[in-house]
Chain A
Amino acid sequence: MATPHERLGVSRSQVDRAGSVLRAWMATGLLAGSAEQEASSVLSDYRAQFKDPLKKVVMGLRSAVRTEGAQVVVSERLKRQPRIVGKLARFPHMELTRMQDIGGCRAILDDVATVDAVRRRIERQKSEVVKVDDYNVASRSSGYRALHVVVRREGALIEIQLRTLSQQRWAMLVEDLDGAYRLDLKDEQGPAEVLDYLRVYAAGLAEFDSSGQVSAATARRVRAARSDAQRRLRQGGME
């Protein structure tokens, strides 16, 4: 099956070169010139090649969720260019054609048990499972939890994110804070107190997800971390 760059009719190195041009441009902070516009156009055309395989993976995901008897809350997206370029900048050795989440989809599910059940259904589907990152077992250092499955469909890598309602609430808070204070907490850049609060709050939500309860000690930890984070946001003139 043709890979996305083959379908586009360009070589792998042409796509990776476009990625390198945009990565270097980002470091300069200068306005885009003709080389950057050209690279952006290549990236946009390359990304468009993920549309059809993504659609098929989404149909499979919807079917897995429905068969599990859960409400279907599923969306898909092609990764935003600034996020793609930002990721290339954060991982200097990553090549654009190796990126695994240019095409991605997300399901919001009630609880971790449903997440695991949907995952098992996905693993029996037509797409080849390339990688499973279970951040419910080992969360990211930011506190982020979810289950990510990378599949290969029609030669393209597509990422499936399965999140519980609590995990989605947490992720939305991070996005909200990033937007409101122009931070990059999503990539763990920002005031230590705020990052710490997000970690503690995520752990509390996970406790609730797994046991249906929040202990008094956890509630206290969240309250303390929250008050430090609020103080820090105010000090920075950010609240």
Chain B
Amino acid sequence: MSLVHFLLVYDLRQRRLIDVQEFTDAKEATEAYGRAEMAHLDDRDTEIVLVGSDSIETVKKTHGHYFTAGALITLPELAAT
């Protein structure tokens, strides 16, 4: 089972991912993470995160908020059963 690392760059103003880089080498991924964060050190409008998983589909389940479109958030209700 080999894990893939995804370096996600999320723009909080546009509320969407603006870059996704995929790495099969964890060391390279970690170094790129540090570099990207350093480049955005003063930038409060961008979230950068490195997530490792078996596929991007799994990342969508475990870190789904990076993949939701910029639609307005509807607060869910709970229906009585």
Which of A's residues lie within 8 Å of B, judged by CB?
Answer: 31-32, 36-37, 40-41, 44-45, 47-48, 51, 55, 58-59, 62, 72-78, 80-82, 106, 108, 168, 172-173, 175-177, 179-180, 182, 197, 201, 204-205, 208, 212-216, 218-219, 222-223, 226, 229-230, 239
Measured in the bound complex, the distance between the Cα atoms of B78 and A216 in whole Å is 9
Contacts A176-B68, A208-B78, A226-B75: A75 and B58 contacting too (C-beta < 8 A)? yes
Nearest B residue to A182 via CB reads B12
Residues of A contacting B26 in the complex (Cβ-Cβ under 8 angstroms)? 51, 55
Contact partner, B34, options A41, A73, A172, A197, Cβ 8 Å: A41
Contacts A41-B34, A78-B50: A168 and B81 contacting too (C-beta < 8 A)? no
- Contacts A/B (CB < 8 Å), 28 sampled: A32-B42, A41-B38, A45-B34, A48-B31, A51-B30, A55-B52, A58-B3, A58-B52, A59-B1, A74-B54, A74-B62, A75-B51, A75-B53, A77-B50, A78-B33, A78-B50, A80-B37, A172-B68, A176-B65, A176-B73, A182-B12, A197-B75, A201-B76, A205-B78, A214-B79, A214-B80, A215-B80, A216-B80
Which of B's residues lie within 8 Å of A, judged by CB?
Answer: 1, 3, 10, 12, 15, 26-27, 30-31, 33-34, 37-38, 41-42, 47-54, 58-59, 61-65, 68, 70, 72-73, 75-81
Measured in the bound complex, the distance between the Cα atoms of B34 and A41 in whole Å is 7
Q: B42 and A76: CB pair below 8 A?
A: no
Q: B53 and A48: CB pair below 8 A?
A: no
Q: B77 and A168: CB pair below 8 A?
A: no
Measured in the bound complex, the distance between the Cα atoms of B52 and A58 in whole Å is 10
Nearest chain B CB to A174's CB is how many angstroms away? 9
Q: A73 and B30: CB pair below 8 A?
A: no
Max chain A C-beta neighbours (<10 A), residue from B10, B61, B73, B78 = B78
Measured in the bound complex, the distance between the Cα atoms of B38 and A188 in whole Å is 27
Nearest chain A CB to B60's CB is how many angstroms away? 10
Contact partner, B41, options A36, A51, A179, A216, Cβ 8 Å: A36
Residues of B contacting A208 in the complex (Cβ-Cβ under 8 angstroms)? 78, 81
Residues of B contacting A173 in the complex (Cβ-Cβ under 8 angstroms)? 73, 75-76
Residues of A contacting B64 in the complex (Cβ-Cβ under 8 angstroms)? 168, 172
Residues of B contacting A73 in the complex (Cβ-Cβ under 8 angstroms)? 58, 61-62
Q: B78 and A230: CB pair below 8 A?
A: no
